[in-house]
Chains A and B, each alone.
Chain A
Amino acid sequence: MTGIETAMIQDPVLKVEHLSMRFGGLMAINDFSFEAARGNITALIGPNGAGKTTVFNCITGFYKPTMGMITLRQKAGPEFLLERMPDFEITRDAKVARTFQNIRLFSGLTVLENLLVAQHNMLMKASGYTVLGLLGFSGYKKAAAESVDIARHWLDRANLLNRADDPAGDLPYGDQRRLEIARAMCTGPELLCLDEPAAGLNPRESLALNDLLRTIRTESGTSILLIEHDMSVVMEISDHVVVLEYGQKISDGTPNHVQNDPKVIAAYLGVEDDEVEEVIAVVEGHEGGAL
């Protein structure tokens, strides 16, 4: 046990309890618990190889955890045990959307088509599982028009309206990042998981991303869980930060709390285990020192 208390949260959208993931002999995640509050931006940070993406893959069903329970509670009440569901059902039924560390767009489809694919399940129902749509029933046409409106809405928010008819692979890197987020939003998620959305962005693109994330939170009420390395992004937009090191949680709380946690500083500066105590003493000497 790490002994780090899980911050108490009133209305958690996501509850991860005692999550463990083993790859052969390697314990990638070891007894990891945390909660993400509804409507908040929760950041998951930690040094390279700490297991952040593994946690994401467990939440979104790409990995089946060795142990532990992942509960998602929707606004309307129903709960889903994510560790028991296949990946596509997690998005379709539990409404958890995600992006990827290395962008995964449908590069040969246009930007608009990317967003329409994201509305697949809604459109499938509207088209009577293809049969009615194939016969030309009007219900599908209406739904298709609506889906284009939803796509236009998110294109506008992501500032990509003028690129709607270009192939996704033709977009510059920063636009692709935002497009991937817009696409995830088109699935109508309760929880949006972003895997290093700011990686590789230049300062201007980074600002555009922050804007988009804030818009998502204020407009749609979607809760966000993000992995990030860029501390300026984390500190600026997140409400709650969880720190992971070697698959274990070492800190959990507000950005300010985490920023000053000696264990976090030690993890990021990379000191030997037996020196942690020294670092703690030093930090306590300079209370409130910057990270």
Chain B
Amino acid sequence: MEYFIQQLVNGLTLGSIYGLIAIGYTMVYGIIGMINFAHGDIFMLGGFAALIVYLLLTTFFVGIPAALALLLMLIVAMLVTALWNWRIERVAYRPLRGSFRLAPLITAIGMSIVLSNFIQVTQGPRNKPIPQLVSSVYEVFGISISLKQIIIVLVTAVLLTVFWYIVNKTALGRAQRATEQDRKMAALLGIDVDRTISITFVMGAALAAVAGTMYLMYYGVAVFTDGFVPGVKAFTAAVLGGIGSLPGAVLGGILIGLIESIWSAYFSIDYKDVATFSILAIVLIFKPSGILGRPEVEKV
């Protein structure tokens, strides 16, 4: 039983990271109906930004408190990654808006290749291990919960609340939802559609950067190929939860995290990704709109 709850805690942590990335996928998909294949690599980029900031801090400010270091890593990673995604949207996706549906998908795949190879070229292909930033572990009823896990879950919860508030309660969120429903009409009603979409990419990238920083802190290692597998899993999470839905993305992420950790614990660790993908396929075949998604009505 304790072992099981331990796995739940691990799964929840991992799932929170997936959920944070999935929000970026789901927001972009919601607003312009495009699978942003480069988003996984944006996450990787965020991790690297955090890594370099960490190295800067530990080189020039020896003995800096971990909390402050983590905060600075988060802020800089969010800013830099958001800047990247803002430019990427402008260069690679905006010129193709309203044209051929597959064209932005291909540029997104191209951007994904560019980003991972850019990091490989500039930062080198090797694994980048960093020492533990936060190492406290608490024992609660025989279950060990690390401070890292608490931070990750808390940050996810706070960010989800903030973003849920932005999307549902602010003028910006209203503009986003209007653009999502009908881009032309939104533009006619005076919404700056280009700006709204840019902001969506910026927000998605900032969350991915948070996820990247958390991933770096949790596993203590970064490598340029990191974007693909978490990226695909996060997209799986977004689809599983119902693409276009913010709570769905986090729910999907947590589900994927739980499936992964429980499958690894009780069955075979080798086949954990097979289990994830199989469950995705099964869910989609029986409930194509995901868990919290609106069913797609076929208009005749």
Contacts and interface: CB of A to CB of B under 8 A. Distances in A.
Interface of A: 53, 57, 62-63, 100
Nearest to B298: A62
Contacts of A53: 300
B299 to A, nearest CB: 9
Contacts of A62: 300
B246 to A, nearest CB: 25
Contacts of A100: 300
A49 to B, nearest CB: 15
Nearest to B297: A23
Instruction: Decide if the interface of chain A is mainly helix, strand, loop or mixed.
Output: loop
A59 to B, nearest CB: 12
Contacts of A57: 300
Contacts of A63: 300
A63 B300 CA distance: 9
How big is chain B's contact interface, by range?
under 10
A227 to B, nearest CB: 13
5 contacts: A53-B300, A57-B300, A62-B300, A63-B300, A100-B300
Nearest to A56: B300
Nearest to A63: B300
Contacts of B300: 53, 57, 62-63, 100
B101 to A, nearest CB: 13
A290 B300 CA distance: 35
Nearest to A54: B300
Nearest to A53: B300
Interface string B262-300: 000000000000000000000000000000000000001
A100 B300 CA distance: 7
B239 to A, nearest CB: 25
A62 B300 CA distance: 8
Closest 5 CB pairs of A and B: A62-B300, A57-B300, A100-B300, A53-B300, A63-B300
A57 B300 CA distance: 8
A27 B300 CA distance: 18
Nearest to A100: B300
A53 B300 CA distance: 9
B157 to A, nearest CB: 34
B297 to A, nearest CB: 10
A100 B299 CA distance: 11
A46 B188 CA distance: 33
A209 B300 CA distance: 22
Nearest to B300: A62
Nearest to A23: B297
A61 to B, nearest CB: 10
